[in-house]
């Protein structure tokens, strides 16, 4: 048990080591990581993008980063289950805060996100982003591909997000939260032949050649079998993991913009994530958490736990 302290997010002098804040008090950052705009040398940087101007149904996920940080305080600095370790003993993680966006100019938001993501990636080893609606994954993929080359996409989602990309104002493509995958394929950011979507429970005009484990398949398969399918599909390629919280059944994630019934439990999907230690992750995001529609932080806790699992996998990889 870490010695009790307070306000670790801005009193800490190091990006290593667990905090000691009470779960009910202290300055909030993701898992009490040190807040800084200088992420140089950090193994992982956590970043928020409070943006929901491209949602097609219920808004509110601009408050997602705040909710995910608040929910992460429940991780009380004991060794994190199921990783049985202080995730920050050897892996340095900082919280960069949020992307600065002009709410009056949503048409330039994606370019702002891309530029800031590229700047962060120039200084840190791994970027874990808290959304925000799912359109933010498009500029994040642009930034990650600029560093790593074309990637495989592992997408947990109830929706394929492969709707056609419309023409927008100012001569720019209109990429929203339902078309970002199509836009990423068209821009050659992701390789459909090594990409996979898990939990799909809606129809779209095309699958873009991406493999799909739909809701019924996920229900019938074991967590181990789902993980094996993901690892087989990605075939050792560099992977960007995008987790839309509406992958989970609405009972486990009511606080989201486009909930879909018939999805998996949080327990099952967390069990899948736990088995992805061999996945060559280069970036990840958790998106579409909409606190105005949440109840007792159910959705925020699920989303924060997904993000914590990503950190757990990275911590294990670093210590291997």
Binding residues for Mn(2+): 134, 157, 159, 161, 244, 246
* Cα dihedral across residues 291, 293, 296, 299: positive or negative: negative
Question: Rounded to the nearest 10 degrees, how much is the dihedral formed by the CA atoms of 197, 199, 200, 206?
Answer: 10
List binding-site positions.
134, 157, 159, 161, 244, 246
Contact 234/42 with Cβ under 8 angstroms? Answer: no
Q: How far is CA 203 from CA 1, 102, 211, in A?
A: 48, 33, 14
| Tokens 């757990």, located at residue | 312
Q: Which of 120, 125, 180, 114 is nearest to 153 (CA)?
A: 180
In this structure, the number of other CB atoms found within 10 A of the CB of residue 111 comes to: 12
Contact 265/302 with Cβ under 8 angstroms? Answer: no
Phi-psi region of 17 (alpha: psi -120 to 50; beta: other; left: phi over 0): left
Give the strands of the sheet with 196-200, arranged side by side. 34-35, 93-98, 44-49, 127-131, 281-287, 239-244, 152-156, 196-200, 211-214
Q: How many CA atoms lie within 13 A of 21 on its CB side?
A: 25
Q: How many CA atoms lie within 13 A of 187 on its CB side?
A: 22
Q: How far is CA 63 from CA 25, 45, 101, 158, 240, in A?
A: 20, 19, 13, 21, 23
């Amino acid at each position: 048990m870490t010695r009790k302290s307070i306000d670790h997010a801005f009193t800490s002098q190091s990006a290593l080591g667990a905090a000691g804040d009470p779960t009910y008090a202290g300055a909030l950052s993701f898992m009490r990581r040190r807040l800084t705009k200088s992420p140089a040398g950090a193994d992982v940087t956590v970043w928020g993008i409070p943006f929901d101007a491209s949602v097609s149904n219920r808004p509110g996920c601009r408050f997602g980063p705040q909710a995910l940080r608040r929910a992460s305080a429940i991780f009380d600095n004991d060794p994190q289950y199921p990783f049985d370790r202080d995730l920050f003993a050897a892996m340095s993680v900082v919280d960069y805060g949020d992307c600065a966006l002009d709410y009056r100019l949503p048409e330039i938001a994606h370019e702002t996100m891309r530029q800031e993501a590229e700047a962060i990636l120039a200084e840190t080893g791994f970027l874990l982003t808290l959304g925000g609606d799912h359109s933010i994954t498009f500029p994040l993929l642009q930034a990650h591909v600029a560093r790593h080359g074309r990637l495989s996409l592992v997408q947990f989602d109830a929706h394929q997000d492969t709707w056609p990309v419309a023409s927008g104002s100012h001569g720019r493509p209109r990429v929203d939260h339902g078309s970002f995958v199509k836009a990423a394929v068209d821009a050659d950011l992701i390789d459909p032949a090594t990409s996979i979507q898990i939990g799909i429970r809606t129809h779209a005009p095309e699958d873009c050649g991406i493999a799909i484990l739909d809701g019924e398949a996920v229900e019938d398969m074991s967590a181990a079998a789902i993980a094996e399918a993901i690892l087989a599909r990605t075939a050792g390629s560099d992977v960007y993991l995008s987790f839309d919280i509406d992958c989970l059944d609405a009972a486990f994630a009511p606080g989201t913009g486009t909930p879909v019934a018939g999805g998996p439990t949080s327990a099952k999907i967390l069990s899948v994530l736990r088995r992805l230690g061999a996945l060559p992750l280069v970036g990840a995001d958790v998106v579409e958490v909409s606190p105005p529609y949440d109840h007792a932080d159910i959705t925020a806790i699920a989303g924060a736990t997904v993000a914590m699992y990503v950190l757990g996998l990275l911590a294990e990889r670093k210590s291997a």
